[in-house]
Every structure is written in C-alpha cells, then in structure tokens.
Structure 1
Amino acid sequence: MTRDSDPDTRRQQAADWFSRLGAPQVSSDDIRHFFEWRRDPDNARAYERIEALWSSSRRLADDPEIAALTAKTLGHAAPPTRARAVVSDLWKPLAGLACVLVVAGIAGVWALNRPLTYATSVGELRTVQLADGSRVVLDTDSRIRVRLGRDHRTILLDSGQALFVVATDKARPFTVQAGDTRVTALGTRFDVRRLERGARVTLVEGQVAVTAAHDGRDEDWRLAPGQQVVTAAARPAVSSVDANRAISWTTGRLVFEGTPIREAVAEVNRYSTRRIELRAPAIANIPVSGAFDTGDVDGFAAALTDLYGITVRRTDDGGLILDGGRPG
C-alpha cells in the first residue's frame, strides 16, 4: 500500500487542511492546493468526516459524560465542572487537530450518527457551505439536517425555505426531503419551501426530479429552469414562473406580482417578529405588485395606506393592525 492510499495518511492530511483553512488568514495558494487535493474522492470523504466530527463534537462539549471522558483521556482527574471547562478549552483555535481527534475518538459514535443541523431565527438569512462544495441559503425561521455519506447527500428540510446550489458529484445523488416531497438533483440550483402539506419546488437552473405522495400513490415531475410545482396543491402541476423573483428573498427583498394582499401580508410576516394583522376584508383579495425589503413592515403598511386608504394602528408589542380600506 502506498503512503497516499493509507487511510491514516488521508485522515492526517484532511485534519491538516481543516486546521489550515480555519486560520485567521488563508492564502489563495492554500485554497487552490486544497481544492486540487480534494479533487480525489477519497480525500474529499476524509475531509468531510473530519468536518462532521468537529461540528458534532462541539455540540457535545456541554455533555457531562463526554466532558468527564475527555478530561480522563487527557489525564485530568477532575469533577464534572472542571471537566466541562477542560472540554471548553478544546475549542480554542490553538488546540487544532489534537483536540478534534481526542474528542472524535471519545464521541465518535455520537458524531457519526448525528446529522449536522443548521437553523435560522425569524428575519435571519444564513448561507451554509457544505463539505461537498454545495451551498445552502436558509430563509427566515428555517431548519435543515444534513447527512453526507459515501454514496448519498441527503438534506432534510424540517421547516421554512432554502435555496440549494449543488456541487456536481455523479457518484452521490443530492436529495432534499421536505415531508413527503423528495427532490433529487445533480449540479443544479433550486428553491424548496416546506408547506403544511407538501412543498413548493422552484428550479432556477439545471434539472431536478420531484416525487411526492398524492392520493395514496407517488407522483413524479421533472422540472426545467423557470418551472415550479406545488405538491401541496389539490392537483399538482408544473407551471412557469419568474425564477429570479421566486428567489428574491435571498437578496433581502420580497417581490410581489399580482399577489393577493392577504398572501403578501402573510409573506411579510414571515420575516419579522412585528406582526401585521389584516382587518380590511375589502382589500384582502386585491392583487398587489411591488418590491419591499424583508422585515420592513412599516414600509409595506405605508404602501397599502397610500393605495387603499387603510388605517394603521400600532399594538403594544410593536405590531400593526390594518383596518378599513377601499377597493383599488
């Protein structure tokens, strides 16, 4: 067996790269050499394991049992409080590779069996760079779980919405599961919104296959760029949409085009803890068009006031109540 094919050598190289890329300053040469090294599928998998172990192990730092085992392994006979402090010290940048391997060795079973979880709070947008080179942009109040294996890449969209920019890897299909809806893609960009029953899938570029349970059987759709399917609909069907408008939220903007005001209000509310309550049935179904910054409830309410003569009242918690109104 050659040195380069030795699994221990790959793990060491992966850990070295993980430490170097986590430094305060990383040169362009280092980044270029890293991607050349990671082009080897075995190297890529070794790096993914190190990254997964690090992320999962950090979440175990406050676990008293893990903390005690870690302290014992490091040769410290310490009470639980001191043990937790020892584990906490492991996360300092100077700890580097040794700390990853110590905790990984102790907590390996936990780390390998737990998916990585990423989430956003209300009004927050977050971009997550996955170990395979793919990128996920999480919308407000969203949560995903990520599993990257030898022969699969699986994302569970538990809630909210996300844009997926998928790195090509024909040996490992990229699948997003949103309830009963499954989206499979290779080298593509698409948006998935988790709904109460099903999901809304919008393809920006590339190609995806969508499968969902409907009326007791699985139905399949294949999307082309600029197409969308809502599996929660009574009769799901592929339709054409403005893909750029559909993902405008990724730039902090909400773009409405002929959207009923009641639906626009619901969408604006997703991005702020200051809620808008619509008490203006006369305008609820009127289509509205325009672009607004996410979280700008005052700007949105002001636009409706100018157009439809509604009355705006503020609640004690900073929310807005929209009353009255006249048809436009």
Structure 2
Amino acid sequence: MTSTDLQEIEARAADWIAERDRYDATLPPDRQQALDAWLAASTAHRVAFLRLEHAWRRADRLGALPASGAQRRRTPLAWIAHPAVYRTAAAFCTVLVAVLLVTQFGRSPETQRYATARGQREQVALADGSHLTLNTATHVRTAVTPRAREVWLDEGEAFFDIAHDARRPFVVHAGAQTVTVLGTKFSLLREGDRLRVAVLEGRVQVKAPRGTPTVLTRDDAALAERDNVLVTRKSTQQLKAGLSWMQGKLVFDQATLADAARQFNRYGRKQLVIEDDAAARIGIGGVFDADNVEAFARLLHVGFGLDVNVVGDEIRVSSPAS
C-alpha cells in the first residue's frame, strides 16, 4: 500500500468521523449503512477509522482543558490533520495493517527471500542464530519470529546449522514434505516432489504427506517421497563428501559418468551431454571443481579416450568411433 493510498484512506476516515459528529454520533440509517460498507471493504479502512476515532475523542477531552485563544479556535479535526500528527498516524496505521494481516491471513511481515543463481553459493544468517548455506540455483523463504521458526525450500539445496531452541522447533517446508528439528546440522536437496536428507548432528523428523513421521539421527540419509521415507545409514565421511559443494567441489566415488554429468550440469552454463550408453556407464572417482566442467571434459578425453566436442553451450561426450 502506497503513502498516497494511506493518505486517501485517512482523509475519508476523517470525513466519516466529521459527518457522524455533525449528527451527534448517530448517523441516519442510509449513511450508517454506507459507513458500514466502507469499513467492511478493507482492513486498512477499519484501522484508520478506529485510530482517528480514538484521536477525535482524545481531542475532545483536551478541548475541555484551559487553553489560549488560538488553541480554543482549533477544532478536533484540525488537530488530527496537523502534519506531524498525520505522519505519525500514517505510520501507526501501516503497522496496524501489517499486524492485522498476520492475524487474518497467517502471513508474516518478517518473511525474507533468498536465491542463488546457477553456480552461486550464499551464506544466510537468521535472527535466531541459525545459519543456512545455499547451493547453486536455490530459492528459500524464511520467517523467524519470537513464536516460530520456519523456512520454505522452494527449489535447490541447502545446509542447515540450526541453533537449539526447545521452545521454537525449526520447521522446513519442502514441497509436500516437512522437516522438523530443535537444533542440529543437516542438508536438504529438493528434486521436485522428492527430498534428500542427510543428518550430520542431532535428530531430524521427516514427514511425508501420506506417511508416518520418521526420525533420523546422526549419519542417517533419507529419500522422502509422497508415500514414504526410505532411510539408509552412511559413514560420516560419505555424508561430508556429499557436502563438498560447500567448498565448491564435487566428490565422486565410482559414480557413473551419467550421474557425474547431472551433478556438473547443476552448476555451469555449459552442459555435459553424454551421447551413448557405453560412455554413460563409465565409473568416475575423484574430487573436481564444480565450476570447471571444461577441465573435467579434458580428463575424460585424456584419461578415458572419449571423444569430446564443444557445440555452443554443450560439451558432447561419446565413446570413440570404432
């Protein structure tokens, strides 16, 4: 809502109060009906009217006190319209509108949005002391208030280092899945309606829409889908390898070339295209820079004898011609 909108609402509310005052606080039925309709049309209308009505009554009380001649000539409505008072009133009105919106629609004015571009990482510090690390092409929304802590993972991957607070569980909404914690370290990767979870410390509860809540502990990894949560046990080393993206690295332990290509393609503008099944099944191991797919492609050519051709934004990899 713009300042001009607020000014117009304030002016209309003042007109209604002045009209009602002319009728000794009791409007004719048709005018009362019109006022009721105006009040019902918008929360901002009701807030402005109630606030100015309170100011009007206070001005009446002030008018009963001894005053100078100039002050006696100032009407209650003129007192309300004083520029300094008006600016304060408009600001107060804005705050009340925000509070009522939270109450009526469940929307928090503290909600913040964060996003990373392809190949970008970002650190996010929350008001409760928690920290988020966003991976490439990730979109999150956060709402941390004195009563609740919530995050919406709309897309991508993030690592969560959550400050312990028994009074306020930390809740992450990732599509249909919900993750609830008190204080822990874990990562989430959202792939459409699927959610991959890895827990480094603490306990995490994962709830799928049509499943029972599943509690994960340290070194647990899970794949959550709409109907179930599949949990596997991993070593700490394996879990940390999965978080190598936080240092800008990709770690592969006998991954297929097809899987490696999918990982690289999350980060760079140039996309790896594996053109045949034989090349796609080759096992890959090692540590690589996530933002240097060209070096990885050169390794495929030199180390595996694969054909590598650059066509526009694609790096096409294929088995050598027989």
- Normalising by structure 2, report the TM-score: 0.65
The residue correspondences of 1:74-113 to structure 2 (distance < 5 A) are 107-108=94-95, 109=97, 113=108
The residue correspondences of 1:59-138 to structure 2 (distance < 5 A) are 66=2, 68=4, 107-108=94-95, 109=97, 113-114=108-109, 115-138=111-134
Q: How many residues get paired?
A: 230
Q: 1:107 to 1:279 in 2, by over 3 A?
A: farther
Aligned-residue offset at 1:104: 7.0
Aligned-residue offset at 1:321: 1.1
Do residues 281 (structure 1) and 277 (structure 2) align? yes
Q: Distance in 1 between matches of 2:168 and 2:247?
A: 30
Aligned-residue offset at 1:69: 6.3
Report the equivalent of 1:200: 196
Does the aligned pair in 1 maintain the 2:275–2:318 contact within 8 Å?
Answer: yes
Do residues 253 (structure 1) and 249 (structure 2) align? yes
Do residues 320 (structure 1) and 256 (structure 2) align? no
Q: 1:182 to 1:312 in 2, by over 3 A?
A: same
Q: 1:238 to 1:309 in 2, by over 3 A?
A: same
SS at match of 1:123: coil
Q: 1:136 to 1:70 in 2, by over 3 A?
A: farther
Report the equivalent of 2:266: 270
Q: 1:152 to 1:312 in 2, by over 3 A?
A: same
Q: 1:233 to 1:261 in 2, by over 3 A?
A: farther
Q: Give 2:288's aligned amino acid.
A: F
Aligned-residue offset at 1:275: 1.2
Q: Distance in 1 between matches of 2:318 and 2:226?
A: 31
Q: Distance in 1 between matches of 2:293 and 2:227?
A: 32
Report the equivalent of 2:29: none
Q: Distance in 2 between matches of 1:198 and 1:206?
A: 22
Report the equivalent of 1:238: 231
Q: What percent identity do the matched residue pairs reach?
A: 30
Q: Distance in 1 between matches of 2:94 and 2:246?
A: 36
Report the equivalent of 1:8: none
The C-alpha deviation readout for 1:295-315, integer Å capped at 9, x for no partner, is: 111111122223321111112
Report the equivalent of 1:187: 183
Q: Distance in 1 between matches of 2:194 and 2:267?
A: 21
Q: Distance in 1 between matches of 2:288 and 2:227?
A: 30
Q: Give 1:321's aligned amino acid.
A: R
Does the aligned pair in 2 maintain the 1:195–1:232 contact within 8 Å?
Answer: no
Q: Distance in 1 between matches of 2:90 and 2:219?
A: 46
Does the aligned pair in 1 maintain the 2:208–2:229 contact within 8 Å?
Answer: no
Do residues 222 (structure 1) and 215 (structure 2) align? yes
The C-alpha deviation readout for 1:80-115, integer Å capped at 9, x for no partner, is: xxxxxxxxxxxxxxxxxxxxx999756544596342
Does the aligned pair in 2 maintain the 1:283–1:325 contact within 8 Å?
Answer: no
Does the aligned pair in 2 maintain the 1:308–1:325 contact within 8 Å?
Answer: no
SS at match of 2:279: coil
Report the equivalent of 2:20: none
Report the equivalent of 1:177: 173
Gaps of 5+ in 2: 9-87, 103-107
Q: Distance in 2 between matches of 1:197 and 1:251?
A: 27
SS at match of 1:219: coil
Q: 1:70 to 1:307 in 2, by over 3 A?
A: farther
SS at match of 1:250: helix
Q: 1:233 to 1:292 in 2, by over 3 A?
A: farther
Gaps of 5+ in 1: 1-64, 73-100
Does the aligned pair in 1 maintain the 2:176–2:226 contact within 8 Å?
Answer: no
SS at match of 1:127: strand
